[in-house]
Chain A
Amino acid sequence: EAGVTQFPSHSVIEKGQTVTLRCDPISGHDNLYWYRRVMGKEIKFLLHFVKESKQDESGMPNNRFLAERTGGTYSTLKVQPAELEDSGVYFCASRPRTGTSGSIDEQFFGPGTRLTVL
């Protein structure tokens, strides 16, 4: 079974530019999460989708960040315009729908996208 995939693995952009990150969750996982880790700090929650709906977006830093999950499959996270403090690693995680087999709380993480804003 393929795991969570993210694209690109690295992105280097200049301040003021736009970047779009993509996450493909494990097939069939209704829940999709975005997290980010700014260098040297803890991993922080950004938002949570259930299928195509935003369940919780309390961690989104400001309105320069826009996440979408049209069709309830893959998700994109767009940063526009990017600022220096947006640099970090952006992780995506997915989880099966509650009640399906396995640990219902475990989140499966992708490898992350390292974003550098110059």
Chain B
Amino acid sequence: GESVGLHLPTLSVQEGDNSIINCAYSNSASDYFIWYKQESGKGPQFIIDIRSNMDKRQGQRVTVLLNKTVKHLSLQIAATQPGDSAVYFCAEKFSGGYNKLIFGAGTRLAVHP
């Protein structure tokens, strides 16, 4: 499968700790944001999304925060587990942009026992 992210920034955490992955997006007109998780050899898997009329959304063990003032998005993972180890991508959709997604560079999350 694909070697995901040879030169990506890496976040190393201990199992059980909380993880925070940050992303800066580019377009103030973007109205939808999404986090994907990509494991080696697999395609991106949906984690959580948020619309621009919200600043926080929670899922199971994950929370996405959106700060439109500084065009910043973050993904918080509670009680990180070894299975969370992967590359995480944020993506944005421009308002009226036919839903094409603009991806960030990705962050590798490494969870240590």
The chain A residues found within 8 Å of chain B, CB to CB, are 4, 6, 9, 31, 33, 35, 37, 39-45, 48, 55-56, 58-59, 89, 91, 93, 95, 103, 105-112, 114
Contact = CB atoms under 8 A, between A and B. Distances in A.
Given A39-B6, A107-B99, A112-B43, 12 more contacts: A4-B43, A6-B43, A40-B8, A41-B105, A43-B44, A43-B101, A58-B100, A89-B2, A91-B43, A106-B34, A112-B2, A112-B42
Interface string B1-36: 111011110000000000000000000000010101
Interface of B: 1-3, 5-8, 32, 34, 36, 41-46, 49, 89, 91, 93, 98-106
Contacts, number: 70
A25 B105 CA distance: 25
Interface of A is mostly: strand
Interface of B is mostly: loop
Name the residue in B2, B5, B36, B46 with the highest tally of chain A Cβ atoms < 10 Å from its Cβ.
B2
Name the residue in B7, B41, B89, B98 with the highest tally of chain A Cβ atoms < 10 Å from its Cβ.
B98
Contacts of B5: 40
14 contacts: A4-B43, A40-B6, A43-B101, A45-B101, A48-B99, A59-B100, A105-B32, A105-B34, A105-B93, A109-B44, A109-B45, A112-B2, A112-B42, A114-B1
